[in-house]
Amino acid sequence: MAGISQHTSREELRELQSKRLRDTVEHAHENVPFYRERLDEAGVSPADIDGVDDIETVPFTTKADFRDEYPDGLFAVGDDDVLRIHASSGTTGKPKIVAYTEDDLDLWNAVMARSMDAAGIGPADTVQNAYGYGLFTGGLGFHGGAEELGATVVPTSSGNTQRQVELARDLESDAIACTPSYALYFAETADEMGVDPRDLSISTVLYGAEPCTEPMREEIEDRLDATGIENYGLSELIGPGVAAECREAQDGMHIWEDHFYPEVIDPQTGEALPEGEEGELVLTSLTKEAVPVLRYRTGDLTTLTSDECECGRTMVRMDSVTGRADDLLIVRGVNLYPSQIEDVVLEFDPIAPQYRIDLYREGTLDRLELTIELVDGFDGETAALREAVLDRLENTLSFRPDALDLVEYGTIERTEVGKVKRVYDHR
């Protein structure tokens, strides 16, 4: 099923996508009452879909649709054919439940193996998988991919960080798969244990599942003396394995377009945006059986490019996710993403990659407090540093936080399990 070369021409790829899109729309229309109603209402019959040029006639699917159809209203197959369930726990409301047939699991393993191969991982490597195992797709997704590739997988799951450090040292793990915040936590824990994380044999960090700016990647690479490779995905589409960076370029994540068709739209109007413009990523599954997904609004903001990549792969690349449409902080009329603040503050060497943003409402006004950590052993002058950070924020983002707290290294609570939380909205 995954039998297409990653170097295939874009024309050939488009033909394959068109055929697969027709099949998917037909499958969804025939087997999911939700899609049948939506398509019928929009006056779209599967027979009208000649190819990807017609995709804009298909209505969007949203997170709310997943929640409304909880638990299995979007399933296109019966229980007999479902082999596995996963779920993505939002911060509010019901989780989004997803299912996999045997072919879906094969597909998932294939795209994960492809992602890890692009990261330079091979059969001789030992991959320590510190993504959480369970309903979250990170653990089992990377697990299946590593096995498919023939690598050795150490299924540590998340947490138990001291033991993870010991295992990485004793088993000489070549790669660690985990969130970017956990990669830093892992390095800090090693330091505390008297193990220099740079001396470990880890040479690749397969990070993903949460936003990571370029300065944060550099920090991870430096702390672990390893190459950081970004991975992107979401449960609704399959889990990790939707897009992955190549080691050759480390310059955007190749979307595995033979299985997931990407579009970028203006989040306000829903209009398609030309390549190169930032907007909301919309994905359509092209080969999934249990839960086909048509034009899913991911909420993730990114930019696509089909410019030639130095690795030779022809599949489009997406930029690191700047933020989610729903992460947008509107503070006194200024629109900000937490990642923009991260980008600015981490440019300062004395600032450690740990921060939190607290939002309050005072009367009718918003108040944003930023807390950032100083590097370990910082003994410089904080007053000047504070002013420099405030000025840089103001010049770059036209925004000055109401309070900026520079705190000692180790003060901000770390996230050992799950996705990091950096924004606390008390409004």
Nearer to ligand DLL, 169 or 324 (CB): 324
Distance CA 190, CA 220 (A): 13
Q: What are phi and psi of 381, to 5 degrees?
A: -95, 115
Residue nearest to ligand DLL (CB): 208
Distance CA 186, CA 228 (A): 14
66 with 291: CB under 8 angstroms?
no
Nearer to ligand DLL, 234 or 255 (CB): 234
Least distance from C-beta 97 to ligand DLL, angstroms?
11
Least distance from C-beta 36 to ligand DLL, angstroms?
26
Nearer to ligand DLL, 386 or 419 (CB): 419
CA Rg value for the chain? 22
Least distance from C-beta 216 to ligand DLL, angstroms?
11
Least distance from C-beta 72 to ligand DLL, angstroms?
17
Nearer to ligand DLL, 39 or 315 (CB): 315
Nearer to ligand DLL, 107 or 389 (CB): 107
Nearer to ligand DLL, 22 or 69 (CB): 69
Nearer to ligand DLL, 283 or 385 (CB): 283
319 with 185: CB under 8 angstroms?
no
Q: Using the 8-state DSSP alphabet, how is residue 198 labeled?
A: G
Least distance from C-beta 155 to ligand DLL, angstroms?
14
Nearer to ligand DLL, 293 or 321 (CB): 321
Could you please report the per-residue DSSP string of 366-415?
EEEEEEEEEPTT--S-HHHHHHHHHHHHHHHHS---SEEEEE-TT-SPP-
Least distance from C-beta 206 to ligand DLL, angstroms?
8
Nearer to ligand DLL, 177 or 352 (CB): 177
Least distance from C-beta 405 to ligand DLL, angstroms?
26
Positions that interact with ligand DLL (CB under 6 A): 88, 131, 136-138, 208-211, 230-235, 239-240, 298, 300, 321, 324
Nearer to ligand DLL, 137 or 250 (CB): 137
Least distance from C-beta 422 to ligand DLL, angstroms?
12
Residue environment code for 2-22, b if the CB has 16+ CB neighbours within 10 A, otherwise e: beeebebeeeebbebbbebbb
Distance CA 15, CA 215 (A): 39
Least distance from C-beta 142 to ligand DLL, angstroms?
7
Least distance from C-beta 244 to ligand DLL, angstroms?
9
Three-class HEC string of 257-285:
CCCEEEEEECCCCCCECCCCCCEEEEEEE
Residue type, 125: D
Q: Using the 8-state DSSP alphabet, how is residue 319 labeled?
A: P
Residue type, 132: G
Distance CA 96, CA 326 (A): 17
Q: Under 8 Å CB-to-CB from 45, ≥6 apart: which residues?
A: 29, 39
Distance CA 90, CA 110 (A): 27
